[in-house]
Amino acid sequence: MKRSSPWRKLAEAEDAVNRAVAATRVGRYFKLEARKSSFTKELRAGAATFLTMAYIISVNAAILTDSGGPCTVSDCTPVVVGNSTAVPGPECTVGSNPGYEQCLGRTKSDLIVATAVAAMAGSFAMGALANLPLGLAPGMGANAYFAYNMVGFHGSGSIPYGTALAGVMVEGIVFFILSAVGLRSRLARMIPRNIRLATAVGIGLFLAFTGLQAHQGVGLVGASPSTLVTLTACSETDPATGACLGGSMRSPTFWLGAVGFLVTATCLARDVKGGMIYGIVFVTVVSWIRGTAVTVFPDTAAGNAGFDYFKKVVDFHTITTTAGRLSFGGLRHGNALLAVFTLLYVDVLATTGTMYSMAEYGGFTDGAGGGFDGEYRAFLVDAGSTVLSAALGSTTVTTYVESTAGIREGGRTGVTAITVAACFLASLFFGPVLTSVPPWAVGPSLVLVGAMMMRVAKDIEWADMKEAIPAFVTMALMPLTFSIANGIIAGLGVYIALHCYDWARIAYLKASKVLDERRNQVAASSAGEASGITATTAMAAAADEV
């Protein structure tokens, strides 16, 4: 009994804090009691969401740095030829030129800050204005399209970095206008409810598949030349094919990630508060220990450099090269306009669909209407955040599906999103620590979040094949094509194809009904005229007799 006393006092103190906050103007504004939440629960939810999406700080920066950013041939170190130096050619951007590498290093540091600032501003605005527990950050998928399709690896594409950033900003402005006039919500509500439900399930599968891969997760699945994907967890892979060298299931980091998975799963099964956090923290702390097979700081040049940066703990960097690098002049070309249109349709379908799915998962929707509380402001926030992100040098900002981690922890108000923003603010100062979270620590949480998102599948009308087949196509193609937008597009296409006959039949029946009504009106009018003529004739005859 004595042992439980301190915990009881702690719980009583927590309850007192929650009651005090709920009674304040802030508590009433965020509707803590109305949404059956509490201040401390919202804080835990925000921490859980941040920990599951913190990987974007380093991952987004790494992907966008592959584009070369503002670095050009002019940043390359001159080539020494004999006793003279020569101006380097374009090949210096694909080699290991010291000058170009230094420029890439500055660019990556800038993009880490840009990512954190865009996520901080977007999440804070989502919480403060829309009062929703959704975290925002530059989105995966759009950053890869920007880096590898628009700008190209180290600037080898058809669109310069500055022009590509201008395209992102224009897309964000158009998206903001669509949101402001209400057209975005109308477009989103045109998506059938079963497709929206399937989108939530598909995103869950997408998340789980991501968490099982090597780059973002535990590395349990990987490439196969015969079956495309297979069981891996390799200790070593072929750099060309990605196939295992020396057999599968031998990766020490996978087994550490599996332990983290069990820690988190056990906490969730027993309803332990903050369960999504403990597995991530455990795996991360173990991975920081050097000299082990699971360390995130191996005894290599890159590992030593990473450990030296990690030891700083606190570090602050200001953006020097990527902010304000927009060039609107190049948007006149067709390929740039096509890229802007592509980004826009991905935002309309994927980002809007994701937000509706998060609202569905959190229970914020109004049922058949398909809307949710704070919808209008939420749309404005994520569109406006894209404009800010482009100005800083990054890509489109989206609502993160990892927000389900916080919702699972009980997050129901904007306090969760503001907590996420505070964590991103802290990341600006604790970058060495937060960017050292390994993917095998985050992967298990993504898999478990995916599992929890399966629950909305029961609400899909599986007995009606015209509804079930499009829903299945939607949820299946998201992980199999690694694209949320592809799943939505395919599901909608199948839905339209299967309902064309019904819609045509309804239109025919309505048209026939209208024509029949017109015929009846004409017949009635003719009968009335004939009756009027008869009456007039009779009256005239009577007058003649008189």
In this predicted model, what pLDDT tens digit does every residue of 242-276 receive, in sequence order? 677 777 888 999 999 999 999 999 988 987 766 77
- Asked which of 171-180, 399-408, 430-439 is least confident by mean pLDDT, the reply is 430-439
Residues 265 and 275 sit within 8 Å (Cβ to Cβ):
no
pLDDT of residue 532: 60
As a whole-number percent, the residues of the chain with pLDDT over 70 amount to 91
pLDDT of residue 518: 82
- Asked which of 30-44, 81-95, 490-504 is least confident by mean pLDDT, the reply is 81-95
Q: For 430, phi and psi rounded to 5 degrees? A: -115, 35
Residues 400 and 143 sit within 8 Å (Cβ to Cβ):
no
Describe the crossing of helices 39-53 and 439-452 by its angle, rounded to 10 degrees.
120
Residues 264 and 421 sit within 8 Å (Cβ to Cβ):
no
Q: How many CB atoms lie within 10 A of CB 331?
A: 18
Residues 437 and 178 sit within 8 Å (Cβ to Cβ):
no
pLDDT at 128 over 90: yes
Q: What is the pLDDT averaged over residues 465-478? A: 94
Q: What does DSSP assign to residue 78?
A: P
In this predicted model, what pLDDT tens digit does every residue of 311-321 receive, in sequence order? 888 888 889 89
| Sign of the alpha-carbon dihedral angle for 120, 121, 124, 126 | negative
Structure tokens at 276: 């999504």
Average predicted confidence (pLDDT) for the chain: 85
Nearest CA among 55, 192, 34 for reference residue 112:
55
The span from the CA of 167 to the CA of 326, in Å, is 9
The kind and range of the H/E element at 240 are none
The span from the CA of 450 to the CA of 390, in Å, is 30
> In which band, very low, low, confident or very high, does the pLDDT at 1 lie, cut at 50, 70 and 90?
very low
Q: What is the pLDDT averaged over residues 338-347? A: 81
Q: What is the pLDDT averaged over residues 67-85? A: 82
Structure tokens at 348: 């309309």
As a whole-number percent, the residues of the chain with pLDDT over 90 amount to 37
- Asked which of 70-74, 94-98, 177-181 is least confident by mean pLDDT, the reply is 94-98
The span from the CA of 285 to the CA of 300, in Å, is 20
In this predicted model, what pLDDT tens digit does every residue of 186-206 receive, in sequence order? 776 677 889 888 988 888 898
Over its C-alpha atoms, the chain yields an Rg (Å, rounded) of 29
The kind and range of the H/E element at 293 are none
In this predicted model, what pLDDT tens digit does every residue of 59-73 receive, in sequence order? 788 889 889 999 988
The bridge status of strand 397-399 relative to strand 84-86 is unpaired
The kind and range of the H/E element at 115 are helix 98-125
pLDDT at 41 over 60: yes
The span from the CA of 266 to the CA of 48, in Å, is 16
Length, in residues, of the chain: 546
